[in-house]
Chain A
Amino acid sequence: MSTLVTIDLDGRAVEAEAGRPLGALLHRELNAVLRHTAKDGAPRGVFCGMGVCFDCLVRVDGREGVRACVTPIRAGMRVETVRS
């Protein structure tokens, strides 16, 4: 049933199952650290996992502030993390 696709994660090709939440993949691939905060530069990862807390923000295909946890994995998507 599931289809394996390739996405671009910070310039690296990563294989993943299409349709699953990007947040789960990033949690695994990035050792839970999805970004650093603007003010304190503190590490953050998936927290609520349901699109409510806005902690798992990444850039997807150039769009800022995308919640990884509610974004389905699509073939060829370009994901960039925000690090300090």
Chain B
Amino acid sequence: MRRIDTDLLVVGGGPAGLEAARAAAEAGIAVDLVDAGFRPGGQYWMQDPTGAPPLSAQGSKGAAAIAKAQATGVAFHSGAEVFAAFPDRRVLANAADGPIEFTPRAIIVATGAHDRAMPFPGWTLPGVMTPGAGQRLAKLGGTSAGERVVLAGSGPFLMAVAETLVKLGKPPVALIEARPTDSAIIAHLARHPGRWREAARLLAGARAIPERRSGWIVTEAIGSERVTAVRIAPVDRSGRIDRARSETIGGIDALLVGWGFRPMIELTALLRCRHEHDPALGGWHCVTDRASGRTSVEGVYAAGEVTGIAGAVPARLSGRLAGLSAAADLGADTAGDEGERASLAEQLARARAFSDGLGRLYAPPADLVTLARDDTVVCRCEEITRADIAAAFADGTDAVAGAKIWTRAGMGRCQGRICGAAVAAIAAAETGITPREAGFNPPRIPLRPVPLSVVLETTRDGQE
């Protein structure tokens, strides 16, 4: 096992983590950055794993940001997955060439987000995946999710995936956006002229898609060994689905469905930082002081999506702020930075206003929770159906925690990351509690399954 003693450990190498690491390193702090990805860059600044030059302007920006962070002396540890953290701030990560133990004086958590998936009939069929998976297959694997892809769900990220697939020469056959296009979206965009170019580019890309619908939702994926067709139905502004007007799109081989993102709070939750629930921010997220990135736990900072879904611009800004304040708290001379920090905080507030608005506009429709039928698997790991979960609630238990112990939903390898939000929604529907009261599956050591040999190696000389 490698032991790395450092001032600051940044977890996550996306825009937030890279900016945080660079800001702190520039202030003279020793920084290590650990990231589970093949190469740094995260989801937004994803880099080709074979080292091929970036395809997009976005990828080039990421490459530049990585190079800058490297130039400031940040030590990168890619392909290393954090699986444990202790109250004394020791962090354990597992990499292909063995485990690493970090003993930092401070931690910045910038672990990003993952797609919000919600169960519906057929969602476990091969070929059905999240839009993020489609993006990664393309950008990391050079592969399209299929020859005939339907892209569905809600939110601007769908357009970004469409853009990638178009570049790959496999434009989606249909784009099914649940949110009806209306003046509210136009009015929101109109208030943020800084984002017009990006919006125009994405809209132009979407023109290559033959069938574009908004105000429609995927209600079922059909197929036996792989998805071959998809049922869709209109959904109105109040989120009600009109199944009487359902249609089928056949002849497909992939379906990418997603409902925005959920903050990846496993590490901040393990470190006992305070979390809050806000649907517009992706649900449960780590609460920070926006101007400093400080969490409720001393020495632990958070930046980017983990503090509430907002996109890449706020991620960079919050990352830089967290890096600067961590550096200051660690004793770096940051006199003279006050002006920059104030300006960053102001930019962050503006960028967040834009993304919070988008988050509210593209909130998942109310009827989403009604898509899963009694026999639909909700917990993919343990193969627990909606009926199993509803029966547990009828027997008198409640909340995500109650469903977990009485049905095993959330007890498998993914530890409820995928089904947690759906189980909370089912609890709300069945027992009348709020998704906030329904809670989430608290992460525990190890955050990801890790071989016992590695566990032994990393705890052998452990003191408490």
A–B contact (CB under 8 angstroms): yes
Q: Which residues of A contact B (CB under 8 A)?
A: 1-3, 17-21, 23-25, 27-28, 31-34, 37-40, 42-55, 57, 63, 65, 69-70, 72
27 contacts between A and B (CB under 8 A): A2-B52, A3-B50, A21-B141, A23-B137, A24-B136, A28-B143, A32-B146, A33-B126, A33-B225, A37-B383, A38-B383, A39-B383, A40-B383, A43-B125, A47-B117, A47-B129, A48-B418, A49-B134, A50-B136, A52-B264, A52-B414, A52-B418, A53-B117, A53-B380, A54-B412, A54-B414, A69-B133
CA distance A34 to B226 in the complex (A): 11
Residues of B within 8 A of A19 (CB): 38, 49-51
Secondary structure class of chain B's binding surface, majority of residues: loop
Which residue of the partner chain B has the closest CB to A70?
Answer: B36
Q: For the complex formed, measure the closest distance between the CB of B69 and the CB atoms of chain A, giving whole angstroms.
A: 21
The reply to whether A49 and B136 contact each other, CB–CB distance below 8 Å, is yes
The reply to whether A33 and B124 contact each other, CB–CB distance below 8 Å, is no
Residues of A within 8 A of B413 (CB): 54, 57, 65
The reply to whether B418 and A24 contact each other, CB–CB distance below 8 Å, is no
CA distance A14 to B51 in the complex (A): 22
**Is residue B32 within 8 Å, beta carbon to beta carbon, of the partner chain?**
no
The reply to whether B448 and A34 contact each other, CB–CB distance below 8 Å, is no
CA distance A58 to B51 in the complex (A): 26
**Is residue B101 within 8 Å, beta carbon to beta carbon, of the partner chain?**
no
**Is residue B321 within 8 Å, beta carbon to beta carbon, of the partner chain?**
no
The count of A-to-B residue pairs whose CB atoms sit within 8 angstroms is: 138
CA distance A59 to B412 in the complex (A): 18
Q: For the complex formed, measure the closest distance between the CB of A71 and the CB atoms of chain B, giving whole angstroms.
A: 9
Residues of A within 8 A of B132 (CB): 48-50
Which residue of the partner chain A has the closest CB to B448?
Answer: A51
The reply to whether A48 and B114 contact each other, CB–CB distance below 8 Å, is yes
CA distance A45 to B125 in the complex (A): 7
**Is residue B177 within 8 Å, beta carbon to beta carbon, of the partner chain?**
no
Secondary structure class of chain A's binding surface, majority of residues: loop
The reply to whether A2 and B127 contact each other, CB–CB distance below 8 Å, is no
Interface size on B, residues (CB 8 A): 50
Q: Contacts A31-B226, A43-B125 known; A52 to B50 CB distance under 8 Å?
A: no
Q: For the complex formed, measure the closest distance between the CB of A45 and the CB atoms of chain B, giving whole angstroms.
A: 3
Which residue of the partner chain B has the closest CB to A17?
Answer: B50
CA distance A48 to B449 in the complex (A): 17
CA distance A42 to B333 in the complex (A): 59
Residues of A within 8 A of B127 (CB): 32, 45
Binary interface encoding of chain B residues 408-423 relative to chain A, with 1 for a CB under 8 A from any of its CBs, else 0: 0000111001100000
Residues of A within 8 A of B51 (CB): 1-2, 19
Among B146, B380, B448, which residue has the most Cβ atoms of chain A within 10 A? Answer: B380
The reply to whether B136 and A1 contact each other, CB–CB distance below 8 Å, is no
Which residue of the partner chain A has the closest CB to B146?
Answer: A32
- A-B CB proximity, top 8 nearest: A24-B141, A49-B133, A45-B126, A32-B126, A54-B413, A49-B136, A2-B50, A39-B383
**Other A-B pairs, 9, CB within 8 Å; known A17-B50, A49-B129, A70-B36:** A24-B140, A43-B226, A45-B126, A45-B129, A50-B43, A52-B417, A53-B117, A57-B413, A65-B413
Q: Contacts A1-B50, A31-B226 known; A65 to B417 CB distance under 8 Å?
A: no
Which residue of the partner chain A has the closest CB to B384?
Answer: A39
Among A19, A46, A52, which residue has the most Cβ atoms of chain B within 10 A? Answer: A52
Contact of A24 among B130, B143, B264 (CB under 8 A): B143
Q: Contacts A24-B143, A32-B126, A47-B128 known; A53 to B49 CB distance under 8 Å?
A: no
Q: For the complex formed, measure the closest distance between the CB of B454 and the CB atoms of chain A, giving whole angstroms.
A: 12
CA distance A31 to B143 in the complex (A): 12
Residues of B within 8 A of A46 (CB): 126, 129, 133, 137
The reply to whether B141 and A48 contact each other, CB–CB distance below 8 Å, is no
CA distance A31 to B147 in the complex (A): 11
